[in-house]
Structure 1
């Protein structure tokens, strides 16, 4: 018997041809996982942005001191252990021998550099603003000291923005670092065709072991239906955030699976509270009474969500289940507009990014607000311009989502509603309330879980009355996936890690 073996390597797959007794069989072995998501990353510098598309790529490149497991328990990351030295000091002991993608070894100096740079970042400083100093004990030991006791510290350090950077790489790249990222994660950056795709490759020296899939490509496919089509044709292996109308199609394909789970995400309508007439609480309340969120969940989401009464979802620590939702009441809405001096309504605009679901939500809101005399035009804005414009306050109203990444109410409420986080840090409604500031600060400095929960409950009551944002629905997240992709699991925050994923066969 004669065997002839030819190996032809091509980007994306290897084709092995074997002949036995004259019969040839082609065996295709995929070496690239292709993921489709709805927007391109903005930057891969975790200190320069806090958006979901960027974080979904960054989480493959970087690692954090600590991580959360599927049950949101804190587990080791780059730190193999940690302990509290007192109520303000937490000591982390790093794994030895961890390599960055540039070959440098992880040291305590990198942790100090990262957290101090994070504190200096206007975009993500709010996540670690409780930290007073970072002290190096030795090359592999670091103390993180907070200004006051800070209950959610470990959860905040699991955030993608708290990814540990290599000081040498950041300084060498300068302003270009966001396009030349260097981490300790399972995949390292290869190249970026802006607006199209980001290519990564498995890092041979990853401390958690080399990955089974050598290459990962993130494709920018804005239309959800196009992501579903790409799944059907095999162009992509995983499609994030499919449109409701496409879910059954994917679910019913023999080679595909649809996975849908509750998330930490809430979709909301934001008001620019520093711009008339939205600086008047009665106008915001009037709009809230004009909205029927059940219609949005049923007609747009096709049931993939639940009408919300809070900026944080039921799975988040600190959620207050006792808050009533606004129920559609056009008479009450018109009455409030009249009390605000606008009996005939007004003209305004709403911004949304080029996300089909959000555009449809805007269209439903447009029809509902028309019933109380509000003539609202819809402006669809490219994602990067949307983030920049809303951070500057150029909008009237906007549709956005917020993911309480850490699973703790501090992250879900502080960034969106504290006076210190106006703009890109999260508070795009530019809301300020001294009592809310006080309650949020008191809750984050407490290490008593029951007290923290009570304080966050009070904050949610105030927010539901003053409605700087109207919480539309608690969002379910979904992915479509080829059935030959094994080991993938969804993260409640939406930053799904591809670590450990493989192909069948």
Structure 2
């Protein structure tokens, strides 16, 4: 069995080698926000790439209208009081190793989350019972209006519990056993993942029986530098970019062999503010820098006018994003200047504010790839316009997470990919300090509102109301500045592959790759 050290050494060697592309092979480049994943272990990972969607299935999926549709479960029903759910499972499903998928698998799978970062997904479930081979019943500790969403996320992917337990920390690195449309051939951390078709796949997602993938082999490459990734697409080194930087949209559209697919985004770019580090331990300073960010200028200068200006922490398609106007954070240089002055920072002769002989100088952390560097330069200039001198510190995309865990950051530019309001708890919960809560927010009232939002609702209407209150209170503390809500722009070589222009899914993952095909 390969060790982690062997895999890392393999990464260095493979970077110098090239191999001919087989006729039914497809090579895709992962989105920049998926670069750096160290495992395909859905139980404990906090970062998974699109490969995890292809290696595993989940009980339910979401269609393009964000409605829940069958995946490994063909139907489900919630008891009237919300204290139990019954799921009827698809028959004939097998894991990659031939083991049958059944209700007992679900019973054995749930306890694997205990003590992990992802345990919160199933906190509301007391236990699962196998009613029959193909029927499982979840007995609840409390109603959970978000249960179907939790079951649909990539972190609720279902591995074979026996293999998972046997392999321990090696699971998801050296070997993966799921029920998904692809099997793991190799995983070189930081470099590439090679997947091969699961010829037996015939169970979803969606209401139909499904079919095996049309391509035989899929290589998912990690290229942190966006310009390098685009050059690979342009010169034929890869077939598909999961995320085309807006800088290169015109080149894609102008190239005869390249095409682009535009999909609604589910990510958000923002500037976290460390509330524990001076000068940002003063709420007025945080308010000042939050309202200094000119979202429209960033969209026009960095993203070619595509996408939306963010004024909260949630993507605009979520009902919990509909906060009151007074809590929205949007560019207001007058308000920014007043807040900084109220904090005692007065404009100096050279355009940098001063207080007690000290200049208002801060560090702005960012990732080293070109998009984040360009974005950070614009943010740096916008901060300078209100009298804040920011020094940019760049870190490798994979290494920056460990840097956050030091708690030394003041400001940063980063992104998340998620389509549920519980992301607020993930990045601002007091029990997640350092990382992922790099704003280091640990406020008693916020914790009360978080608890009500995460566990206090009996139905979806209550849940939405609770999350709006939580969202509004977080914004009132200014632990971040919203920046940008992107669209997903996928570029591909139309001479090599055919990409479906429509499919019944909220993201280009399982269904998208199932329909992808190589042109003869």
Q: CA deviation at 1:469?
A: 1.6
Q: Counterparts of 1:131-146 in structure 2 under 5 Å?
A: 131-146=125-140
Q: Cα distance 1:493–1:486, how it changes in 2: closer, same or farther (>3 A)?
A: closer
Matched, 1:49 2:33: no
Aligned to 1:18: none
Q: d(CA) in 2 for partners of 1:76 and 1:396?
A: 44
Q: Structure 1 length normalisation: TM-score?
A: 0.87
Q: Deviations over 1:320-379 (max 9, x none)?
A: 164354454445434323433444142221222223222111111111212333222212
Matched, 1:203 2:198: yes
Q: CA deviation at 1:503?
A: 2.4
Aligned to 1:404: 418
3-state DSSP of counterpart to 1:363: helix
Q: d(CA) in 2 for partners of 1:155 and 1:72?
A: 10
Q: d(CA) in 1 for partners of 2:126 and 2:410?
A: 36
Match of 2:27 among 26, 30, 34: 34
**Contact 1:33–1:216 under 8 Å retained in 2:** yes
Aligned to 2:441: 431
Q: CA deviation at 1:61?
A: 0.5
3-state DSSP of counterpart to 2:291: helix
Q: Structure 2 length normalisation: TM-score?
A: 0.84
Q: CA deviation at 1:489?
A: 5.3
3-state DSSP of counterpart to 1:275: coil
3-state DSSP of counterpart to 1:178: coil
Q: Deviations over 1:68-112 (max 9, x none)?
A: 112111111111222123412112222233111122222333323
Q: CA deviation at 1:268?
A: 0.6
Q: d(CA) in 1 for partners of 2:368 and 2:43?
A: 24
Deviates further, 109-118 or 473-482: 109-118
**Contact 2:252–2:259 under 8 Å retained in 1:** yes
Matched, 1:502 2:504: no
Q: d(CA) in 1 for partners of 2:442 and 2:295?
A: 26
Q: Cα distance 1:240–1:307, how it changes in 2: closer, same or farther (>3 A)?
A: same
**Contact 1:110–1:165 under 8 Å retained in 2:** no
Q: d(CA) in 1 for partners of 2:21 and 2:293?
A: 48
Deviates further, 218-227 or 316-325: 316-325
Q: d(CA) in 2 for partners of 1:62 and 1:157?
A: 13
Q: CA deviation at 1:492?
A: 4.5
3-state DSSP of counterpart to 1:290: coil
Aligned to 1:213: 215
Q: Cα distance 1:81–1:173, how it changes in 2: closer, same or farther (>3 A)?
A: same
Q: Cα distance 1:98–1:206, how it changes in 2: closer, same or farther (>3 A)?
A: same
3-state DSSP of counterpart to 1:246: helix
Aligned to 2:500: 487
Give the aligned CA root-mean-square deviation in angstroms: 2.4
**Contact 1:31–1:215 under 8 Å retained in 2:** yes
| Length, aligned pairs only | 473
Matched, 1:12 2:26: no
Q: Unpaired runs of 5+ in structure 2?
A: 1-18, 204-210, 347-353
Q: CA deviation at 1:384?
A: 2.4
Q: CA deviation at 1:285?
A: 0.3
Q: Deviations over 1:191-228 (max 9, x none)?
A: 12333211000012223332211100011222222222
Q: CA deviation at 1:309?
A: 1.1
Aligned to 2:10: none
Q: Counterparts of 1:118-157 in structure 2 under 5 Å?
A: 118-122=113-117, 124-157=118-151
**Contact 1:228–1:250 under 8 Å retained in 2:** no
Match of 2:107 among 108, 112, 119: 112
Q: Unpaired runs of 5+ in structure 1?
A: 1-9, 14-29
| Greater share of strand | 1
Q: Deviations over 1:289-314 (max 9, x none)?
A: 22211111110111122211111122
Q: Counterparts of 1:54-65 in structure 2 under 5 Å?
A: 54-65=48-59
Match of 1:181 among 157, 176, 181: 176
Q: Cα distance 1:278–1:135, how it changes in 2: closer, same or farther (>3 A)?
A: farther
**Contact 1:349–1:377 under 8 Å retained in 2:** yes
